[in-house]
Every structure is written in structure tokens, then in C-alpha cells.
Amino acid sequence: MSQEDENQEDKKFSERAKETAARVKQHLKDNKKVYLAAGGGIAVGAIGMFVVTGRYGQFVDSLKLIHIQYKSPNVNLALVKQACPDPIPVRDKMTGIPYPSMKTASKLTQQAYDYIRHDVHGVQSRWERLPDTVFA
């Protein structure tokens, strides 16, 4: 490749870059009101969320979700809610009493269901999960 060929390619590239920059500038001039309205809406939404919740992380997450939805192809998904097929038997370690389900244990011991569920699926400090065959 000669020096002249390289210079011509550089000129073509710089011309294309200038044309692209000119098209982008013209697009921004033509759609200035749309971008200002969108930016204003985002700013008002961010300020409102910060004032109401006191957190800004939620806003950043929602922007990421919008970006993902905008760039993603349209795909139809069937969301199926599945519940636990059988109750999970648990035992209270303090009393040693087994219960056929976490819900039953919650009712009989007057403990919050969420507390029992988190303990059974986590540390198991007070409640422990029993094998499914215990009450079968």
C-alpha cells in the first residue's frame, strides 16, 4: 500500500465522520424538544423518588430495566406461579415439638410465619426443617 492510498483512506474516513457528526447534530436539533421533555421527566421522577423514599438506587435500577426493555426483542413469556407442592414440616428446637407445616407452627406458637420461614431456610437457630416423610 502506498502513502497516497493511506492518505485517501484517511480522507474518506474523516469525511464519513464529519457527515455522521453533521447528521447527529441535525437529529438533535430536530428532536430537541423530545429530548428535553424526556430529560425533564426523568429529573422530576428522580427527585420525586428521592424525596418520597429517600433512596436513589431504586431510580437507577428502574432506568436499567427501561434500557433492557427498550433494547430487548419482544418475547412473550408465560409466567407460572408455583407454590410449594407439600407443606414443609418443622420442629421447634426449644420445645422439641414437631409441626406438620410452617403455617401450623405459626398459628399454634403465635410466632410470625416470616420469622419461622426465614429461620427454617436459613440459620435454623430455633426452627429446623424435618424430612418430608415424617408426616406423610
User: Which of 119, 121, 90 lies closest to 103, judged by CA?
Assistant: 90
pTM (2 d.p.): 0.37
- What's the confidence (pLDDT) of residue 107? 92
136 band by pLDDT with thresholds 50, 70 and 90: very low
- 69-104 pLDDT, tens per residue? 555 556 565 666 666 666 888 899 999 999 988 889
Residue ranges per structural domain of the chain: 3-71, 90-129
- 29-72 pLDDT, tens per residue? 888 888 888 888 888 887 777 766 665 555 555 655 555 555 55
Name the grid cell of 124.
435454623
